[in-house]
Structures are given as C-alpha cells and as structure tokens.
Structure 1
Amino acid sequence: MPHIEITHGLPGISGLFAQRPDTAAVLSRLAETLLRGASPLGRGERELIAAHVSNLNCTAFCSDSHSAFAAAQLDGGAGLVASVLADVDTAPVTPLVRALLKVAAEVQAKAAPVSDEAIAAARAEGATDTHIHDTVLIAAAFAMFNRYVNGLATDVPADPSFYDAAAELIVNHGYEAAR
C-alpha cells in the first residue's frame, strides 16, 4: 500500500505523476531528454540502461516498464532484455553496450566515481565522452526515479499487459505525452 494517498489509482510513477502534475512535468521532461533526446545511444539502448539500473535497485515498476520500452525498440525484444537483466556478461549485446551497462551498474552501486577500469573498458569498445556522460546521467537519474517510486511504496500493476500498453504510448508519443 502506498505511503501517500494516490487518488487516481495508477501504479508506480504514473500514480505519483497524476497526483503531482507540477513535479511530473519536470521529471517527464528529464526522462524525455535522457531517453529520447539526442544521443549516440539508441533509444532502446538507453531504455535498457534504465531497466538494468531499475532491476539492480529492485524497483519492479520501473524495471518492468523500461524493460518493455527497451524490448519494443531493440532487435531481440523481450528475450534480449531478460538476458541482460539475468547476466550482463553473457547477454547478446554489443561489447560497447555491455561496457556501458557495467558503467551504469557502478553508478547504481554507490555515489562515487566510476572506476578507471570501467571507463577504460568502455573506451576500448568505442565509447565517446557523450556515451559515457549519457550512461552515467541515465543511471544517476534512475537511481532517483527508483527511490521516488520505492520510497513511497507505490503499487505495481496486477496485469502485466499494463507495460505493453505503456510501451506503445512511450515509443510512439514520448514521456511528456504519457503524463
């Protein structure tokens, strides 16, 4: 049961956004910029980073949402996403994406500089400053989003089809339209 009254009955961050449109506007714009704005990373790759961090943070709503959003935008779909969440080291992703997922995991684990080794590994796979910047910022933002959702004990959808419908909305119209 959520720690605050959610009058719209929506799960996860959706309910929080409906409850507080003022903060929803700012946070939706942040998500839109990070996950759909200009980046050398594809939208599906950025959603995969968000899903990975959310999974590491044990935030079911965010992990399941961004897994669906990533699956809808990546070759390999849900199977690829599931393999990343199960084991980044054996998942069928490019070496660059694997290295960036490891950078994201370090950001998720603690508020400290990412290790020189993780950055060197990403650079060895072709990561630019922008790849690294965007990965770190997505991971840091999702640490915040995850704590927002978990901290207020929001509900998780009972029907898994919620995530497929949400994915269609996000993929086709973006985060700001989803508010």
Structure 2
Amino acid sequence: MPHIDLGVDDQTFPGMAGLAQYRPDTAGPMLQLAQILLRGPSTLPPGERELIASYVSTLNGCGFMILTHGAFAAAQLDGGMPLVTQVNSDPETAPVSDKLRALLRIAAATRESGRQVSEEAVKAARAAGATDLEIHDTVLIAAATSMFNRYVDGLATSYPDDPAPYAEQAKQVIANGYNTDASF
C-alpha cells in the first residue's frame, strides 16, 4: 500500500503510472527524460540502454523497475529475459560485449555515488569502444534510474509481481515510446 493516497486504483495504475496520475506536472518532464535517454537517438541500442536501467534497478532493489526495464530490455535483445537475468545477477560473466560490460561497471559506480566513477573505468570503457557520448549517457541513465527507483520505492507504490503485464507494456513502449504527456 502506498505511503500516500494517490487517488487512483493501484491495480489500474501501478508504480510510476499511479505517481504520474497523482502529479502529472512532474511526471511529464520525468518521462520526457526517460524517452530521451532510453528511446532517443543514440549509438547504444534501446535494448542495451534498458538493460543498463534494469541492472541499476537490480542493484537498488527496486522491484517495479527491475520488472519494467527488464521486460523492455528482454523484448529488444536477442538473448531475451535469460540474458537480462544473467546480466542482473552477474554482468561479468554475462554474454555481452566488452563495451557494454564496461558501461555496466560505470553504471554500477554511478548508482553508488557519482564520485565512484573512476578515470580507470572511463579509460576501460573507451578502450572497449565506448564513445564519450555513450559514457555520458550511461552515467545519466544510471543517475536518472536511481532517482526513479527512489521515487517509486520512497512512496511504496504498488505493482503486480506477475511479469506478463510488463511484457505487454514493453510492446507499447517499443512501438510508441514512453508516454511523455503523463496522461496514461
């Protein structure tokens, strides 16, 4: 049960959707940021960007966003949910590129503290083929995901544990992007 009355049925509007209904004026810009970072133009494929968000959510223990971003990543990556699960449990042994592995290390450091991102980690990402823009976006994805994690968990939003609705939502996000008008 959410810590505050969001004024919506939490089964119809779980997680971020309920918060967006409660405060659409803040949800709109937040969802625009998600759209830019996770679906906008980039040399990193959307599935990899969603995987970074899922991994950061796993490190933060945010169930809602593990399920959402995990489903969104799985729907866009050849390895599907088994790959997402493997990355979330041990990215060092997951079958991903050296570049993505290096970016996941940067994402993990960022969610801990921006000051944890070392010059060595950045050099390693560059050596693995990451561009400065990809490093920038990884840091911002990790920081923004951590903010979203704290937002949905800080207000104890409700959400279903069943992965099926997230797989359906993934189809909508892939086809239409994040709903940036917060009207849901």
1:56-67 superposed matches below 5 A: 56-67=59-70
Aligned with residue 82 of structure 2, among 76, 79, 97: 79
What is the letter of the counterpart of residue 7 of structure 2?
T
How far apart in 1 are the matches of 2:161 and 2:97? 34
CA RMSD in angstroms comes to 1.3
Q: Deviations over 1:133-166 (max 9, x none)?
A: 0100100101111110111011121432111111
Q: Specify the alignment match of 1:145 in structure 2.
A: 148
Q: Specify the alignment match of 1:154 in structure 2.
A: 157
Cα gap change, 1:101 to 1:158, in 2 (>3 Å) = closer
Q: How far 1:27 moved relative to its partner? A: 0.8
Q: Give TM-score scaled by structure 2 length.
A: 0.93
Q: Deviations over 1:66-110 (max 9, x none)?
A: 000000011111111111001000000011000000000000112
Q: Deviations over 1:6-30 (max 9, x none)?
A: 2222211111112211111111111
What percent identity do the matched residue pairs reach?
55
Q: How far 1:3 moved relative to its partner? A: 0.7
Q: Specify the alignment match of 2:125 in structure 1.
A: 122
Give 5+ residue unaligned stretches, structure 2: none
Q: Specify the alignment match of 1:45 in structure 2.
A: 48
Q: How far 1:113 moved relative to its partner? A: 4.9
Q: Specify the alignment match of 2:6 in structure 1.
A: 6
Q: Relative contact order (C-alpha < 8 Å, sep 6+): which is higher?
A: 2
Q: Specify the alignment match of 1:132 in structure 2.
A: 135
How far apart in 2 are the matches of 1:144 and 1:77? 26
What is the letter of the counterpart of residue 73 of structure 1?
Q
How far apart in 2 are the matches of 1:13 and 1:21? 11
Give 5+ residue unaligned stretches, structure 1: none
How far apart in 1 are the matches of 2:133 and 2:177? 22
Give the total of aligned pairs.
Answer: 179
What is the letter of the counterpart of residue 84 of structure 2?
V
